[in-house]
Structure 1
Amino acid sequence: MIDYVKGRVVHWDTEYVVVDVRDIGYRVFTPNPYGFAKSDDVVTIYTHHHVREDATYLFGFATREEQSMFRKLLEVSGIGPRVALGILAGGRPETVAAAIKQENIGFLTKLPGIGKKTAQRMILDLKDKIDAVQASIGAAAAGLATMDDLFPEPEPSAEGGKVWQEAREALMALGYTSAELDRAWHALQNTVKPDETVDSLMKRALQQLFKG
């Protein structure tokens, strides 16, 4: 089991980074590849080593909290690694944990790939287990913060329609500020296609945010 990799990130894509560890390049799928793209320093990426009959994957995270929540999500019936990765791309571990504990289906169904039935399964399968991992996920999972603190409302905007609003809310959950997202939207608004999805718009916004 590979628990973490430590090296220099030499390549970024919309879904993964490549980490050079002693002249071996490890492809690591991560919720926010561009979060590792701001420095040439050696980084530590906490990983989950996923083995299937036909393939082996590394999923990586910036913190132990993300790694722990990812593994908990895999315990939910119907949630595989790709969906779990999308969940963490749409919300921080403490916000996801708090939403599960407080049975906030409205928040959970806004996460990529999560419908009402899956959200209900998340609550059913994990609500009683959140307390057991709250030390690693953070005090928010224990309900010590208010819902307003954990799920802040985005600044109102008439631009972008529903797709951008959902993408914007998910990006705010990743820690980006309203000012940063307004700048990203200003650069993207003229290129949004009629069939643009939330996931694709998030990825393009992240690329723009990385460019600064």
Structure 2
Amino acid sequence: MFDFIKGKVDFIDIQYIVIEVNGVGYQIHCPNPFIFQKELEEECKIYTYQHVREDLIRLYGFKTRKERHLFEKLLNVSGIGPKGALAILASGQPEQLVNAIEEEDEKFLVKFPGVGKKTARQIILDLKGKLDEFAPNLFQQGVAEEFSKPKGNTYSKELEEAVEALKALGYVDREINKIVPQLEKEETTTDQYIKKALQLMLKQ
């Protein structure tokens, strides 16, 4: 398994980034690929997790080892796969996640895409009391929301990218349409739109 990959950020997609190392491009799926926007065409280090199944080998990447470790913890929960774990991490608020688990707050956990009551209960059963190492402010903020662009609206390029990234994480139109008007009130980067969107979603 690769512990980390260090190279130039060559490309950013709504679900992954491409890191070029000695002429080879590594496709690495991330909770929020747009946190690497400032490093486009620059060298960076990304901590990786290699996921292998019969029909797929995929690399997942994280800003810190602790973020990767939390991803691995989530993968150990029955009912959560890599996509679901990424969506949860994209919230960028691990302290809220840990608090919800410790306080058995199922209502908070079901706000993440793909997490129903059964899965929320399983997260609590499997992880409660096992996440003390994950203190606040250890992770980059991101978002795990799915947007749909209301007809007749014209978004900025950055908001469009955020909308598509959030869709890829599994949120639905109904949830997205509630917060898009608040996002449109400001002009910012794709990464910041994503962060703001998730913060709003988790408050609903």
Same-fold status (TM-score > 0.5)? yes
- What's the counterpart of residue 64 of structure 1? 65
- What's the counterpart of residue 107 of structure 1? 108
**Is contact 2:142–2:191 with CA below 8 Å preserved after alignment?**
no
- What's the counterpart of residue 196 of structure 1? 173
Q: Which amino acid aligns with 2:21?
A: V
Hey, what's the Cα distance between the residues in 2 that align with 1:200 and 1:47? 33
- What's the counterpart of residue 174 of structure 1? 142
Q: Which runs of 5+ in 1 are unaligned?
A: 142-172, 176-184
Cα RMSD between the aligned structures? 3.2
Number of corresponding residues: 160
Deviation of the 1:17 alpha carbon: 0.4
Deviation of the 1:20 alpha carbon: 0.4
**Is contact 2:31–2:142 with CA below 8 Å preserved after alignment?**
no
Hey, what's the Cα distance between the residues in 2 that align with 1:32 and 1:201? 21
Q: Which amino acid aligns with 1:119?
A: A
Task: Write out the 4+ residue segments of structure 1 that deviate beyond 2 Å after TM superposition.
Answer: 90-95, 185-188, 195-202, 208-212
Q: Which runs of 5+ in 2 are unaligned?
A: 144-152, 164-171, 193-204
- 1:24-63 pair list within 5 angstroms: 24-39=24-39, 40-63=41-64
Deviation of the 1:120 alpha carbon: 0.7
**Is contact 1:2–1:48 with CA below 8 Å preserved after alignment?**
yes
Q: Which amino acid aligns with 1:76?
A: V
SS in 2 for 1:35: helix
- 1:1-212 pair list within 5 angstroms: 1-39=1-39, 40-131=41-132, 134=133, 137-138=134-135, 174=142, 187=155, 196=173, 198=175, 209-210=189-190
- What's the counterpart of residue 202 of structure 2? none
- Provide closer, same or farther for how the CA distance between residues 105 and 38 of structure 1 changes in structure 2, counting only shifts above 3 A: same
SS in 1 for 2:17: strand
Deviation of the 1:186 alpha carbon: 8.9
SS in 1 for 2:46: strand
With the length of structure 2 as denominator, give the TM-score of the two structures.
0.68
Normalized per residue, the structure richer in helix is 1
**Is contact 1:96–1:108 with CA below 8 Å preserved after alignment?**
yes
SS in 1 for 2:173: coil
SS in 1 for 2:34: helix
Deviation of the 1:98 alpha carbon: 2.1
Deviation of the 1:114 alpha carbon: 1.1
Q: Deviations over 1:156-179 (max 9, x none)?
A: xxxxxxxxxxxxxxxxx638xxxx
Hey, what's the Cα distance between the residues in 2 that align with 1:113 and 1:38? 30
**Is contact 2:110–2:120 with CA below 8 Å preserved after alignment?**
yes
SS in 2 for 1:38: helix
SS in 2 for 1:37: helix
**Is contact 1:66–1:92 with CA below 8 Å preserved after alignment?**
no
**Is contact 1:95–1:140 with CA below 8 Å preserved after alignment?**
no
With the length of structure 1 as denominator, give the TM-score of the two structures.
0.65
